[in-house]
Amino acid sequence: MSLSRVAAAGLSDIEAKLAAGIRLDPGDGVRLFAADLLAVAWLANREREKRHAGRTFYNLNIRLEATNVCVASCLFCSFARLKPGDPGAYTMSLEQVWDKLRQRRDQPLTEVHVVNGLHPDLPFAYYTDMLRGFKRIRPGIFLKCFTAVEIAFFADLYGMSDEQVLRELMAAGLDSLPGGGAEIFAERVRRKIARDKCGTERYLAIHRLAHRLGMRTNVTMLYGHIETPADRIDHMLRARALQDETGGFQAFIPLAFHPDNNQMRRLPAPSAAETLRVHAVARLMCDNIDHVKAFWIATGVEVAQTSLWFGVDDLDGTVQEERIYHMAGARTPEALSTRQIARLILAAGREPVERDTLYNVVPRPAAR
């Protein structure tokens, strides 16, 4: 693999821009979606190695979904149930939620990642008490909870401003926001697949606000359904534009669409090649976001491992208890141990680094 492959792929001008630190434009992005995959990979890997050399980050985290009751009917979702009492609907009591953390007393977890359905009947105190309880059980734990879509929903439901919601959650212990709910920013597609969720401008405004209040956040992109390559590039560039303003995004996370048990089940899942390409293009377009994460639950473990040569430098974490993807047909394990993650990084010829949510290196003997 070399520059000659990049030249043969007709990508010399893009290579020259990247070498000179000149930003790629939308036209470049769309071309990368049609170009020779290994040439794109070579370029993405060079950008990855410029930033991180072989280092590959992961964390020891747990994922909790306290309720799947959700007033939204997103076409891609297999997790949500419209009303309490519907078959498969659940809402955990706070004791049940806290027990998930208590049960892991022996694990040196650094992060709790919470994503919920948009439940119409719970009081706001359910969420603030949840956070306070987590910090009581584990004072040092980092709380990455509630997507911007949930924040917008809380503001509308409880009659508060987005800023008030964020400030009250922060006072209760919230440390950062996950990137979920971004789906696809292009309004034409967003209105079709996620019509009940807050719009793109509000999603971005909430992240802008979170950054201004001192939190770091992530941004995701759901791909492999009805979006076009131009929609993907538009999405990446809207994230890049906000990052220019605030610098608050830590990771860009492409999420592969899983078609089982949802309204878009007739669509095929994106192929491994497509998944590798989307991550590589994200590395090239989002030049100001430090990390590109492959969420191994969504990509599959083998593709996540391979993606470490396609621009990816982060594999999320141990996860545990994931439901959104498993209800949508994911055949990945429910959890990986830090030892398993470190081994798969080493087997790919990369260097495993355990991090906390803010990408500080966790000083622990490497789990090999």
Q: Which residues form the interface with ligand V47 (CB under 6 A)?
A: 76-78, 115, 178-181, 183, 218, 220, 222, 253, 255, 257-258, 262, 295, 298, 316, 324, 328
How far apart CA 267 and CA 274 sit, in angstroms, is 14
By beta-carbon proximity to ligand V47, the closer residue of 180 and 352 is: 180
By beta-carbon proximity to ligand V47, the closer residue of 31 and 179 is: 179
CB atoms within 10 A of CB 335: 15
DSSP of 145-201? E--HHHHHHHHHHHT--HHHHHHHHHHTT--EE--TT-S--SHHHHHHH-TTSPPHH
CB of 64 to ligand V47, least distance (A): 12
CB atoms within 10 A of CB 156: 13
By beta-carbon proximity to ligand V47, the closer residue of 68 and 78 is: 78
CB of 86 to ligand V47, least distance (A): 17
How far apart CA 353 and CA 365 sit, in angstroms, is 10
CB of 228 to ligand V47, least distance (A): 18
Instruction: Select from 92, 36, 86 the least CA-distant residue to 280.
Output: 36
By beta-carbon proximity to ligand V47, the closer residue of 6 and 308 is: 308
Residue nearest to ligand V47 (CB): 180
DSSP of 276-335? HHHHHHHHHH-TT-SEEB--HHHH-HHHHHHGGGTT--EEEE-B-S--TTTTTT--S-SB
CB of 120 to ligand V47, least distance (A): 19
By beta-carbon proximity to ligand V47, the closer residue of 180 and 300 is: 180
CB of 157 to ligand V47, least distance (A): 19
CB of 218 to ligand V47, least distance (A): 4
By beta-carbon proximity to ligand V47, the closer residue of 18 and 315 is: 315
